[in-house]
Amino acid sequence: MAHDTGRGHPERAERIAVIAAALEEHACFGFALQESPQATDAQLTAVHPARHVAAVERLCAAGGGVIDSDTVASPRSGEAARHAAGGAVALVDALLAADAVRVGASLHRPPGHHAEAARAMGFCLYNSVAVGAQWALDHHGLERVLVLDSDVHHGNGTNAIFHSEPRVLFVSVHQSPLYPGTGPAADVGSGAGHGTNVNVPVPGGSGDETFCSVVEHLVVPIAREWRPQLLLVSAGFDAHVDDPLAGCAVTDAGYAAMARSLRRVADELGVPLGIVLEGGYELGALTRGLGATLETIAAEPVAPGDERAPHPLAADALERTRELLAW
C-alpha cells in the first residue's frame, strides 16, 4: 500500500485493498494468512546485481522519482518491493518445508516479471518470482523449477534472468504485439538453457480457448515430461476480458480452468504449486480472476481435463520443446 505510483497509474494501491477485502470476505479461501518478510540482500543479489538494489534504494531514500515512462518509485517503494520478493521466498519456503503446504500464493505489489537483473521496468522493481525460483535452487537445492507466466504481457525479466539456466523451465503465454515487445516463439533460451524458455505469443482477442489450451496442452505435458519439483505461476489477471491494458478475453471461468489444470498436474506429480501475483488492472476482474484461482487450487481437483483439441499454438510450442529437449 505504501508503494505510491501517483494519480492515474493503473498499478495502484487499490489493487491490494480490493484483494485484502476479497480475502476477508471469503475467509482467505481456506488459506492461512502469513506476513511476508522483506527479502534479504543475499536473496535479492542472487538475481539482481548489488548496484541495482542500491540504485532502487538510493532513489527511494531521495524521495522517489521516475524510472521510465511506466515505472515510478516513492519513498517506501523499495521496502514494498522487498516484501514482494520476500513473499515469493517465504512462499517457496512454505511449499518446500518438511510439513509443507501443497498450494500457496504470494500477493503483493509492485509486480516483478518485467524487472530484468539490472533494470527496473514495466511497473516492476525486483523480479519477485525469479528471486523465489532462484532461492528454490540455491537454498533448497532443487534441480527443476517450472515457472508459468500467464500475465498478458511477456515476462521479459524472468525470461532473460533464466535464459541460460537449465534448471528453470520458463513458459510464457502473452499477447503479441504488446508491451514489452519481447517473447517471440523463436526465443527458446540459450546456452545450457536452450529449449527451457517456451514462448507462446498469442494474438489480441485470444480468450479461454487459447490460454486454457496453453496450460492444459502445453504446460501439463511439459510438466509430465520434465518433472519439475516445484510449479510457480507468475499470475497476472490482465488477460481478462475486462482489463483495460490489453486486448485478450479470458473470463473468470478461464482462470478457474487454468488453475484446475495446474492443481491436477501438481497433484499428479506430487509437487507443490505456488502463485505469485503480477498484473491485473481492472479491480473487479483482478479480484474475481484471483479469487477463482485461489478457490480452485485450494479445492481437491475433481473435474476432468480439457477435452477440446489442443490449440495449434500450444501444439506447435509443445512439438518445438520436445525437439529441443530431445524428449
Residue from 11, 238, 282, 306 in contact with Zn ion (CB under 5 A): 238
Judged by CB under 5 A, does residue 149 bind Zn ion?
no
Grid cell 515457472 in the structure block, residue: 147
Asked if 151 interacts with Zn ion (CB under 5 A), we say yes
Q: Give the nearest distance from C-beta 10 to Zn ion in angstroms.
A: 10
Q: Residues 197-236: x/- map of binding to Zn ion (CB under 5 A)? A: ---------------------------------------x
Catalytic residue among 108, 114, 154, 163: 114
The 197-202 sheet, strands edge to edge: 103-106, 273-277, 230-235, 145-149, 168-175, 197-202
Taking CA 301 as the corner, what is the angle to CA 300 and CA 302, rounded to the nearest 5 degrees? 110
Q: Which of 183/236 has CB closer to Zn ion?
A: 236
Q: Alpha-carbon distance 155 to 234, whole Å?
A: 8
Paired sense of beta strands 72-73 and 65-66, if any? antiparallel
Positions in 275-294 near Zn ion (CB under 5 A)? 279
Residue 52 is a catalytic residue: no
Q: At what angle do helices 50-61 and 77-96 cross, to 10 degrees?
A: 140
CB 105 within 8 A of CB 132: no
* 110 vs 301 by CB, closer to Zn ion: 110
* Beta carbon of residue 287, minimum distance to Zn ion (angstroms, whole number): 16
Smallest separation (angstroms) from Zn ion to the CB of 194: 27
Neighbours of 141 (CB within 10 A): 9
Q: Does 157 bind Zn ion (CB under 5 A)?
A: no
Give dist(CA 160, CA 137) in Å, integer: 17
Name which of 31 and 179 has its Cβ closer to Zn ion.
179
Exactly one of 119, 153, 240, 260 binds Zn ion (CB under 5 A); that residue is 153
Applying CB under 5 A, the site for Zn ion has a residue count of 5
Q: 237, 195 in Cβ contact below 8 A?
A: no
Q: Is 70 in the site for Zn ion (CB under 5 A)?
A: no
Which residues ranging from 241 to 280 are in contact with Zn ion (CB under 5 A)?
279
Sign of the dihedral through C-alpha 89, 91, 95, 100: positive
Positions touching Zn ion (CB under 5 A) are 151, 153, 236, 238, 279
**Residues designated as active site:** 114
